[in-house]
């Protein structure tokens, strides 16, 4: 998750890292990561991720699932434990078509639940944790540009992935059918939970490379992180 007016959730997909520069929608090399092209404007947080964002990720080195949200000392926890809060959040978003069907009331409810989960986050320096490394699938967001709600459903991306490699400070966003757009970016740590994002190349239809303009920048803040949620 990220702190801001946007909220996003993602799940991690099992992957293997290699030194290869090639990548597919299911395999991301450690040396090359990309960010969803539709996230360019949002990444002034990212995808935001500028709003509270939730995501699941795969493994840190080989095969795992992870996630993200904001962080506060775990001793602020009142009543419900992390597992319960997380499951309630996932249940709440499961019928919202990644956020496309969410009403303003739904968004407020999800935001509140996400903040409750952030408040019990035990990882206070997510950029120092290899749990962040890997490929994440977006499962919820409030970003209109990512959801592409202005388009007919058959023209919207079916699945969005984000792969992050803290060793190389690279990221990659990928959209699935119908367009398979991709974007790669460099990451620059600003503190223990936030990175500046500088996009370098977009790929149209996953094939045609286009150099990103200088203004294609943003930031990404990890407000929550555990083994399967971000």
CA distance linking residue 25 with residue 96, whole number of Å:
24
pLDDT in tens, 161-208: 999 999 999 999 998 888 888 999 999 999 999 999 999 998 888 788
Q: How far is CA 221 from CA 49, 86, 128, 173, in A?
A: 8, 19, 13, 16
Q: pLDDT band at 5, cuts 50/70/90?
A: low
∠ CA(101), CA(149), CA(113), 5° rounding?
40
pLDDT in tens, 53-98: 444 444 333 333 333 333 333 444 445 799 999 999 999 999 999 9
Taking the model in full, what pTM does it have?
Answer: 0.67
Q: DSSP letters of 19-47?
A: S-S---SS---TT--B--GGGTTTTTTSB
Of 87, 86, 89, 5, the closest CA to residue 45 belongs to: 5
């Amino acid at each position: 998750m990220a702190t801001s007016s946007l909220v996003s959730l993602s799940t991690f997909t099992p992957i293997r890292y290699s030194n290869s520069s090639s990548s597919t929608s299911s395999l991301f090399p450690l040396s090359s990561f990309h960010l969803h092209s539709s996230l360019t404007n949002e990444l002034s947080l990212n995808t935001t991720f500028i709003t509270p964002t939730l995501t699941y990720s795969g493994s840190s080195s080989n095969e795992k699932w992870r996630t993200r949200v904001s962080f506060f000392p775990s001793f602020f926890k009142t009543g419900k434990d992390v597992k319960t809060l997380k499951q309630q959040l996932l249940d709440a978003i499961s019928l919202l078509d990644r956020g496309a069907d969410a009403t303003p009331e739904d968004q407020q409810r999800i935001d509140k639940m996400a903040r409750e989960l952030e408040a019990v986050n035990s990882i206070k320096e997510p950029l120092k944790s290899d749990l962040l490394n890997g490929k994440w699938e977006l499962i919820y967001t409030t970003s209109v540009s990512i959801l592409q709600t202005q388009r007919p459903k058959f023209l919207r991306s079916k699945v969005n992935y984000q792969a992050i490699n803290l060793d190389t400070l690279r990221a990659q966003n990928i959209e699935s059918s119908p367009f398979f757009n991709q974007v790669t970016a460099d990451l620059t740590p600003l503190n223990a939970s936030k990175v500046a994002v500088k996009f370098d190349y977009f790929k149209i239809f996953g094939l045609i490379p286009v150099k990103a303009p200088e203004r294609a920048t943003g930031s990404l803040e990890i407000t929550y992180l555990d083994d399967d949620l971000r």
